[in-house]
Amino acid sequence: MHQLDIIPTLVGGFTAALLFGYACLLLRISPIVGFLIAGIVVGPTTPGFQADGQIASQFAEVGVVLLLFDVGLHFDLQELGRVRRVAIPGALLQCFGSFLATFVLGIACGLSVSSAIVFGIAMSFASTVVVTRLLADVNELQTQNGNLAIGWLIVQDVLAVLALVLLPSLADSSNTSWINLIGVIEIAALKIAVAAIAIVFLGGKIIPRILHGIASTRSRELFTLTVLVLVLGIAMLSARVFGVSMALGAFLAGVVIGQSDFSVRATTEALPMRDAFAVLFFVSVGMLFNPQVFFLTPGLFVWTLLIAMVLTPLLSIVLMLGLGLPLKSALRVGFAFAQIGEFSFIVANLARSQNMIDEALVHVLVAVSIFSIALSPWLQKLVEPVVKFAGSSSRFRGLLVMRHPWTLRPAVHIDGVDSDEIIEEFRTVVVGYGPVGRTAARLLKENGISPTIIEMNPRSIESIRKDGHRVVLGDASHIETLKHAGVETALSLILSASSIEHASNVIRMAKLLNPQIKIIVRSAYLNERTNLLKFGADQVFAGEAEVALAMTEYILRELGATAEQIDRERDRLRTDFLESHR
């Protein structure tokens, strides 16, 4: 195919994904469903425009690498530790139960052992994107239930990464005996260990230094390019040097950067192409779908859908109840797992490239994903009625309370370290740690208000921590940075640097996250004040006005004016300034 044919594939794929993704959003369905449908529409099984599947799959490989990097970037051992007594055993047993049920179903339907294994692995993982979206829609993502779901997903992600490493080794094995299988697993585990040591330990010393040096240049483009080079380079070296999958290398690169001071900035700035490539990944999966699955293998589709939407959530709920969680938490989290998503496709695509499964199974997985993702939000609506019914029955009333309070240990995330400290009732976010920001933070802390500092300069981190403040390294003009700093629950936001780019966007995003937040802004010029107030600032202090007031006060004092005269003249000048720039 001519190189110019890349453009029609990208334009057609993105356009279809945009249209169907937006339509699904209007219908309160996950946009992932729209992306999958877009792939079906531009695929070979439907009339009209047909995208090139080979080109789409090549771009999708980059999407897989960036998706796994994002998983590693948010992989948090402390987060997992807080809910480990429920998340680790629960996720392990749930994944094994889903795998075993699907494996038995596959064998019963005449699949080979290797195909049944792959089929079972693919059905064991829920979509991280969908789970977080479902919990956010019911305002549970930032609660204890949200922490539990994230911890559960972390365990699933680790298992998925291990599966991605093991599959090529299993495909190369000519003998499927248990002895040979154990040997394959041992070799794969050794490869994982060597790659992890080389990337995490050696990279943990080198990569932060590289990022620190590039961040010091204040060039956003260079920082973005550096992270992409590191991620793609480490992914490629993992495959070429250590013999493990590129996905594992990308995951480990994400872990290294995620544990550094640059995790927030990497999330907000260095992955602008992640979402685009991820969309192409789902589109490329949709292109593999064949509607004939409903006629060729209707029984396999129905039973697989039941495993995804009935068995997996039911197993999760029972496990959580058995581990002492209250019924409402178990239902809320368990129903969120009633679907399959990105890791299922990643596993299926890898297995298909290794000739371990047939195209028909990929079609079944795509169909089950579309239906389960579309229907899973409706299960959340069952939580309150079920809890209400349990409360009215003496037999089930005991399930409404947590039987083992030690199963979840609440903690807060402070500067990358878990703490049992109670967050102060009054909190504020300060953008910039120059002389004004430093003074504001000190005064806030002395008066019982806890400041969190957003700073772009990595050289300021140590001094901020030394002063006892929380710090988020990143650009305040990105909404993810504001979220990490706690703007959603903060009392106020102070933009202390007059040189902040896109201050109006920062104000609008802060008001979107927290309509009640008070925003105080420092600007360089008075003529900026009107626009900043229009965008939502509550108070604006212009540098040129404050300098004029200070000079006036000094002159009047030198001329022998009284304190009352100085105050009166200062108030008059401030009124004149404001009126002249209204």
Structural domains present in the chain: 55-273+294-385 (1.20.1530), 423-580 (3.40.50.720)
CA 39 to chain centre: 24
Burial of 50 (0-12, 13-18, 19+ CB in 10 A): middle
End-to-end CA distance of the chain: 61
pLDDT digits (tens, 9 = 90+) for 474-492: 778 777 788 888 888 888 8
Model pLDDT, residue 29: 80
Most confidently predicted of 42-56, 60-74, 482-496: 482-496
> In this structure, are residues 332 and 386 in contact, taking their beta carbons and an 8 Å threshold?
no
Model pLDDT, residue 416: 36
Rounded mean pLDDT, 423-440: 77
Task: Say yes or no to pLDDT of 310 above 90.
Answer: yes
Name the one residue in this structure whose structure tokens are 């006005």: 545
Name the one residue in this structure whose structure tokens are 């400041």: 451
| Alpha-carbon distance values, 453 to 98, 150, 427, 486 (Å) | 44, 26, 11, 10
Task: Say yes or no to pLDDT of 425 above 70.
Answer: no
Q: Transcribe 8-51 into DSSP letters.
A: HHHHHHHHHHHHHHHHHHHTT--HHHHHHHHHHHTSTTSSS---
Task: Say yes or no to pLDDT of 306 above 90.
Answer: yes
**Which comes out higher in pLDDT, residue 322 or 129?**
322
Model pLDDT, residue 80: 65
Task: Say yes or no to pLDDT of 415 above 90.
Answer: no
Model pLDDT, residue 180: 63
pLDDT digits (tens, 9 = 90+) for 209-246: 888 888 888 787 888 888 888 888 888 888 777 776 67
SS3 content of the chain, % helix, strand, coil (to 5): 70, 5, 25
C-alpha span between 498 and 523 (Å, rounded)? 5
Reported confidence tier of residue 404, pLDDT bands at 50, 70, 90: low
- Write the single-letter amino acid at 416: G
Percent of the chain residues topping a pLDDT of 70:
83
Percent of the chain residues topping a pLDDT of 90:
9
Q: What is the mean pLDDT of the chain?
A: 78
C-alpha span between 476 and 495 (Å, rounded)? 9
Q: Return the exposure string of 123-150: e unless at least 16 CB atoms fall within 10 Å of the residue's CB, then b.
A: bbbbbbbbbbbbbeebebbeebbbbbbb
Model pLDDT, residue 78: 67
For residues 27, 31, 32, 37, the Cα torsion angle rounded to the nearest 10 degrees is 60
- Strands 470-473 and 417-419, bridge-based pairing: unpaired
- Write the single-letter amino acid at 337: F
**Which comes out higher in pLDDT, residue 79 or 197?**
197
C-alpha span between 189 and 454 (Å, rounded)? 40
Structure token digits, residue 374:
């579309």
Reported confidence tier of residue 398, pLDDT bands at 50, 70, 90: low
Q: What is the 3-state secondary structure (H, E, C) of 256-270?
A: HHHCCCCHHHHHHHC
* pTM beyond 0.75, yes or no: no
